[in-house]
Amino acid sequence: MRSYAFSLYTCSMESQRDELALDRSQVKKAVQALRAYIKSSSSSQKLLENEGQAISLLLTLWKIPKKEQNIRIPLPHGLRTESGDVCLFTRDEPKMTSEQTVRFYKKLLKVKGIKNAIEVIPFSMLKTEHKPFEAKRKLLGNFDLFLSDARIRRRLPSHIGKHFYERKKAPLSVDLESKHLARDMERLIHGTTLTVSNKGSCCMVRVAHSGMTADEMLENVMTALSTISAKLATTGKNIKIIHLKSQTSVALPIYTSDLSHLALVEEARKKARLTKGAQKRKRENKNTEVSELITKETEEERDSEEEEIPQPVPVETPTKKSKREIISKKGLKKVPKPAAGKGLKKTIKDTKLTKKIPKVTACDLKRKAKNK
């Protein structure tokens, strides 16, 4: 059965140098071959007919990108049904409990006209109930898509853990205060996201499921590839090979690039380097010119200041006489300066030790002689 399914597909690729041009008939053959394979495998193994097996695009690039890039791809036919597993992380509303915030946001989504069944988890509930590692893993397995309120997006990585990012289930930001909330939510829920890593040359994106018709799959594949080639930072020429595959099938090539595209990619990179270098030099030259101008201006200002400042002329001011001298001229004696503390002590001691000797006159001597 498998050989019959893949015999429908014959690989005849067309590649143009200017644009990423796909042969629509070739993509249709690949879609039909995948559908036949999924039918045959599901009948024998009873696999995923009701759930819908994912069909993905596998892109191989000529050169590994320098920066990681996330490309949001709106699809004409949604990947998820109205009862799809979607989780929304919201902020904690002031003066409300976690149950009240859940009711508040469910009512808001209903009023805005969003029909999808969305599980609402406030930030406080995420921090408390989903704090253990096992609870986080269970949460990751229960939902296929995670959305987050734009107001708490920066606070989420430390609370949800690295497994959400490793499994490519990082929460997508939504502005819940937007006037066009229904349109934005519908694009995110029914669309898909391609993560172009800077750690390897391959990347994969889900574009359809086995429950779709062949025409729906084809439309999704074509629109996804057109948006990828338009939004890819390294342009569509960097795409080397594109494969279409399901979860269990072999990857079927639907586009192969010409070898000349590698030279074009290298030329584009060289030009980018040269332009970067030229811009850097321009900035450096501008900075040097500005610094030189500033130094010149400062020097000119200094010179002008030196010229303008007059030389100081000495002015004879009348000498002021001390108050003591003025008082002495009027007839008062100068007040002696108080002696230091040590000098005062010495003088006091000397006065105590010395005794007063009375003066003896001639009259006194005569009196003494008469008395005898």
pLDDT digits (tens, 9 = 90+) for 215-234: 999 999 999 998 888 888 76
48 and 21 fall within a common domain: yes
- Is 345 part of a structural domain of the chain? no
- Is 131 part of a structural domain of the chain? yes
pLDDT digits (tens, 9 = 90+) for 274-332: 777 777 777 777 777 777 777 777 776 766 655 555 556 666 565 555 555 555 555 54
Q: Are 208 and 55 in contact (CB under 8 A)?
A: yes
Spatial CA neighbour of 218 closest among 55, 358, 103 = 55
Going by their DSSP bridges, the two strands 86-90 and 118-122 should be labelled as parallel
Tell me the residue range of the domain where 231 lies: 1-65+200-278
46 and 108 fall within a common domain: no
88 and 61 fall within a common domain: no
Q: Which of 168, 190, 212 is the last residue of a domain?
A: 190
Q: Which of 190, 214, 233 is the last residue of a domain?
A: 190
**CA–CA separation, 36 vs 5, rounded Å?**
5
Q: Is the pTM of this model over 0.85?
A: no
DSSP, residue by residue, 15-83: --SSS----HHHHHHHHHHHHHHHHHHHHHH--STTT--EEEEEEEESS--SS-EEEEE--SS-SS-TT
Q: Domain with 262 in it: what CATH number?
A: 3.30.190.20
The count of other CB atoms within 10 Å of the CB of residue 372 is: 5
Share of the chain above pLDDT 90, in %: 16
- Is 307 part of a structural domain of the chain? no
Q: Which of 222, 256, 278 is the last residue of a domain?
A: 278
- Is 44 part of a structural domain of the chain? yes
The alpha carbon of residue 48 and the mean position of all alpha carbons in its chain are separated, in whole angstroms, by 40
Q: Domain with 160 in it: what CATH number?
A: 3.40.50.790
pLDDT digits (tens, 9 = 90+) for 143-191: 888 999 999 988 998 888 888 888 878 898 899 988 888 888 888 888 8
Of 123-127, 156-160, 255-259, 288-292, the one with minimum mean pLDDT is 288-292
165 and 124 fall within a common domain: yes
Per-residue burial over 106-134, b if 16 or more Cβ lie within 10 Å, else e, is beebeebebebebebbbbebbeeebeeee
Number of domains in the chain: 2
- Is 349 part of a structural domain of the chain? no
Beta strands in the chain (DSSP E): 54-61, 69-73, 86-90, 118-122, 145-149, 172-174, 192-196, 202-209, 239-246, 252-256
